[in-house]
């Protein structure tokens, strides 16, 4: 490695994963993630417990990232962190550490928007999308259609008006009695079920926007009525219920994606975010892309969920443009692309 190499340490702490990564000249060297299991018994992420766990995990995770990269702390060119969006307490841990680290090493700070980073995860490895492309970004907190014109030039062209699709998966899973996080379990059981067994409403919003609160209510009342007649209804129909719920949610996502591609005349299509790990979405979208002649980009599973590799990738592009943060930067629970 030469003397002018750009080495960046990146930190991700927006929700319930503590992660650190080191990137060298745009090549991600590692991606260390500590997942928090403390939230499972509560049926969702408890913000106070998340921030405490970040405090415990962050230094070991950063140390592992630096050691396994083969780069010393003194070689680092900058330190990057997730500024938002996310849980305020969790973000504070990452931001505070990054500021202290940058101050101690006298290196620049780079703030990263978590949602931008999910999209830029596509530039970690080949194949990489060509500009412009449309990215369907789907996670527990966000559902967005984004027109990506360049690495740092993005425009949200559609988004959810209420729940995110990840919330819809987790909330309907809870109604089925599945433990948190329920989204991956719906995906698992759906593989054994009939997606046409039960019909749930496909919400149609104006323009390219989404709404996922309706399906949760529809499932709630449907289960209430069925359980009155057969108390074992969920148990006897779990796979079909999961497959039918997943079908409706994926259908809603893809209706708007198809409309966006048609409206903007773009054939380069990508998905990003935690829900892009869902096998039903991946398979349906892969078939759709083949039918429509789209060039489809799906990230590796490890780059779908929250991770510091994507923060590092975004930071690399910001470093090249000299976009640094001041020491008085504060985290943002809500942050637009």
Write out the binding residues: 114, 118, 137-141, 170, 183, 187, 278, 306
Q: How far is the CA of 322 from the CAs of 5, 222, 319, 325, in angstroms?
A: 15, 54, 5, 10
Q: Phi-psi category of 38—alpha, beta or left, where left has phi over 0 and alpha has psi -120 to 50?
A: alpha
Which residues are annotated as part of the binding site for Fe cation? 114, 118, 306
Provide Rg for the chain, Cα atoms. Answer: 21
> Which candidate, 102, 101, 15, places its Cα nearest to that of 53?
15
> What does the alpha-carbon distance between residue 202 and residue 200 come to, in Å, rounded to a whole number?
7
Which residues are annotated as part of the binding site for substrate? 137-141, 170, 183, 187, 278
């Amino acid at each position: 490695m030469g003397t002018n190499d750009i080495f960046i340490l990146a930190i991700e702490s927006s929700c319930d994963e503590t992660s650190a990564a080191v990137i060298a000249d745009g090549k991600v060297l590692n991606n260390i993630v500590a997942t928090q299991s403390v939230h499972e018994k509560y049926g969702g992420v408890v913000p106070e417990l998340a921030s405490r766990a970040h405090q415990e995990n962050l230094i070991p995770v950063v140390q592992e990232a630096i050691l396994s990269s083969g780069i010393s702390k003194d070689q680092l060119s900058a330190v990057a962190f997730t500024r938002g969006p996310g849980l305020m307490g969790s973000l504070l841990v990452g931001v505070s550490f990054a500021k202290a680290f940058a101050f101690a090493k006298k290196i620049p700070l780079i703030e990263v928007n978590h949602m931008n980073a999910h999209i830029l995860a596509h530039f970690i490895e080949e194949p990489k999308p060509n500009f412009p492309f449309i990215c369907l970004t789907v996670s527990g907190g966000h559902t967005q259609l984004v027109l990506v014109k360049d690495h740092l030039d993005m425009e949200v062209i559609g988004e959810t008006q209420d729940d995110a699709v990840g919330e819809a998966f987790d909330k309907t899973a809870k109604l089925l009695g599945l433990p948190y996080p329920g989204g991956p379990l719906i995906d698992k059981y759906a593989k054994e079920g009939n997606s046409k067994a039960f019909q749930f409403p496909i919400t149609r919003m104006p323009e390219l926007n989404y709404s996922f609160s309706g399906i949760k209510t529809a499932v709630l009342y449907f289960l209430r009525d069925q359980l009155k007649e057969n108390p074992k209804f969920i148990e006897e129909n779990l796979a079909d219920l999961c497959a039918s719920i997943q079908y409706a949610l994926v259908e809603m996502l893809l209706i708007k994606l198809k409309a966006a591609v048609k409206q903007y005349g773009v054939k380069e299509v990508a998905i990003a975010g935690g829900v892009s790990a869902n096998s039903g979405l991946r398979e349906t979208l892969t078939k759709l892309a083949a039918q429509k002649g789209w060039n489809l980009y799906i990230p590796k599973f490890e780059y779908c969920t929250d991770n510091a590799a994507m923060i590092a990738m975004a930071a690399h592009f910001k470093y090249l443009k000299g976009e640094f943060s001041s020491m008085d930067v504060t985290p943002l629970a809500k942050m637009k692309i």
